[in-house]
Amino acid sequence: MRRSAVVIAAGWVLLISAIMAGSAFPSIVNSKHDLSVTGPGPIKSAPTASGGTTEICVFCHTPHSATLDAPLWNRSLPVGSYTTYTSDVLAKLDYPAVEDPLNPSAPGAKAHMKTKICMACHDGTIAMGTVVNYPANIETSMPFIGTVDNKMPQAAAGYMGTDIRDVHPFAVKHQPGSTAGQDPELKTLGATDKVRLYNAATGRASNNDGTNDGDYVECTSCHDPHVATFGKFLIDDNQNSKLCRSCHNKEGDDSTLTKESMHSNTTYATAYSPTTGGTPATLGSTVQDVKCMVCHYPHKAGLATYIDTGTAPNPGAGKYLLTYQEEKSCFNNFNRWGQNVTVCHGTTSGASTKNIASQVIKASAHKVGNYSYAAQPHNATEGSGGANWSNQAGNSWHVECVDCHNSHTAGGQLHTIGTNTITKTQPLYGAGGVEPTWSASNWTAPSWGATAYLEPTGLLRTTASSTNVTKEYQVCLRCHSTYAWNTPPGSYTDQGLEFSTGNASFHPVVTAKASTSGLIGPWTSGMTMYCSDCHGSNTPGDPGGPHGSTATPGSILISNYQNYYVAKGVFVPTTDLCFTCHSEAVYQSGATNLAGTGFMTSPTGTNLHTTHKILSNLSGISNTGYSCVNCHIRIPHGYSRKGMILVSTDSAVATYQAVGGAMITSVGAGLPASQAYGAAKGANCTTVAGCH
């Protein structure tokens, strides 16, 4: 027996010597979990003269008098309760609630023991030096440096606290699938994946091969407290977010998806510019390399009480584990990993085509930064299933980047002019939207059935077969129609009504419609269009889409638009919005007999548009000139009358269209057929005094 004891003791000496020598054995020596007086981290035992110790393992383990909470465990476990992670997304999925790991009655209480032993230090409630069995010559709690009252401080990188709403959920089930209570963006772990899932009955980890099967995510699912090989005590390399993507499939559940998003595809993801030694500098130098960690912060994403240790002010975050709060995560001017981000959408972007932060502060813009996070919080599920925003608590109107973009599936290429479809290469791909049931009746609002809402690709899909958004207008109508309100807020117009396919006239946003000639390239009759063909920045080189504009205030237009009445004889500028598609020569400054519009005496007769503009007395028509809106509706989406002609008596129907009263007072028995107008002054309409 004595000889065996000597051999065993010698074996322990050799093992410890090998570890101290830096062998391949798992080791915490010289890692931040080395809390001895010689440990390298900011939190460690006070010098031995002050009551500290040179021992390393004692802060967690002891060979004698250990508790039964974990193998040779030497610490008390946390008591009380935690405020756990919640999400409207998980609630919509009817996903199992995150359990309080300190609740002994929780279904996964045995599995949660792995989390409780970690939180015995990381929740900051127990003094770091408080152990069950102290080292020799120490009888009470060992003093620590880098702490507050010997407890882990809030400013520490490893601090979790008891409010863990902005920490990656643990004590939660991993349930991949597309039925109730499952997550379509979770993957079933394979035999080579190193993530560990824990069995509720035994508390033991799964082998990921179908044996000893487990499903609970705990701290040690991703971290091994003894091995610091991959940094942060991760159990695997996280290059390309390998560890995150062991569980998460964030390219969506679309089985036909053939490409990853612009945030993951090397075609779009340019240099990330990490500083030397920056934490994910070891993960890669591009957005494609770093992936998830560019936008998400898995621990302490940023509650108001959290002390940000970065050099930039803490902007507040936490929701969905985003690096920053809402739109600030997209701008990412200062990355919490300590890197200079030049490829995101903030003012530090290296390319003007990506700088959205400068667009949304323009006079006319989707002002994503103008809302109170507390009073008008964004929820991923808002506006789904016909739940309009007017019915939300406090009628909390707001707009955020993710109302129009799905960052996990969005492409990086602009659409082809002349189409209204969304393809997988475009920024709107995968977003949520609505498709109304259009009425065949003129000037009738569409109806919104139970299937009107088109679910975004990915996590919020009820089923994998849910219908995708395929047209840009579907994204826009989710807010700009009666789908979103009971009564229109402010000056909003019901674009569901305006673009109705049953209307007498409309711009071809929803469906194509034959038009007269007089268009300029690449536009031709029968094409369809995006809303953003008219709505977007008026500065060349700016990002595409309706982010912001300094043109005519109020409508985010790509060019100034003369949307008010002018004195007779005043020409519309050749740079006017209308002349982006419609020929200025045909409609304004060309010869009077220039063909190209429906407003003509005959197919080869007088062009009455130019007659009204160039001060001619041809055929007795008045020598007056006016802006387009003297006769046509001010907001030219669509209207109940042919040619979008507005009559003064229409103001009760479209009060937002009139500015100072319509110039046309009557159209008699109705407008004639195209190219069949009378040449005589007042032949087909009467107007206010001074015109006809």
Q: Can you give the pLDDT at residue 247?
A: 92
Residue 274 has pLDDT above 90, yes or no: no
Supply the pLDDT for residue 254. Answer: 54
Q: In the chain, what percentage of residues exceed pLDDT 70?
A: 81
Spatial contact of 546 and 556, defined as CB atoms under 8 Å apart: yes
- Which pair of tokens denotes residue 113? 């023991």
User: Is pLDDT at 357 greater than 70 in this prediction?
Assistant: yes
Tell me the range of 238-242, 339-343, 624-628 where mean pLDDT is highest.
Answer: 238-242
- The closest alpha carbon to 263, from 338, 202, 185, 345, belongs to 345
689/692 Cα distance (integer angstroms): 7
Percent of the chain at pLDDT > 90 equals 40
Tokens for 341? 């981000």
614: pLDDT strictly greater than 70: no
Task: List, for residues 128-175, the tens digit of each pLDDT value.
Answer: 999 999 998 888 889 999 999 999 998 898 999 998 988 999 999 999
* pLDDT band (50, 70, 90) for residue 121: very high
Task: Provide the pLDDT for residue 653.
Answer: 58
Pairing mode, strands 172-173 and 216-217? antiparallel
Residue 683 has pLDDT above 60, yes or no: yes
Q: Which has the higher per-residue pLDDT, 491 or 483?
A: 483
Closest among 535, 519, 253 to 366, alpha carbons compared? 535
Position 579 pLDDT exceeds 90: yes
Give the residue extent of every domain in the chain. 255-355, 372-554, 559-692
Q: What gap in Å lies between CA 420 and CA 423, rounded to an integer?
A: 10
Cβ-Cβ contacts under 8 Å for 364 (sequence gap 6 or more): 548, 549, 550, 551, 552, 553, 554, 555, 556, 557
- What's the whole-number average pLDDT of the chain? 82
Residue with more model confidence, 536 or 8? 536
pLDDT tier at 66, thresholds 50, 70, 90: very high
Pick from 104-108, 254-258, 383-387: least confident:
254-258
At residue 389, the pLDDT reads 59
367, pLDDT greater than 70: yes
User: Quick one: which of 484, 514, 505, 504 has its CA closest to 496?
Assistant: 484
Q: Looking at residue 531, what is its pLDDT?
A: 97
What pLDDT does 293 receive? 82
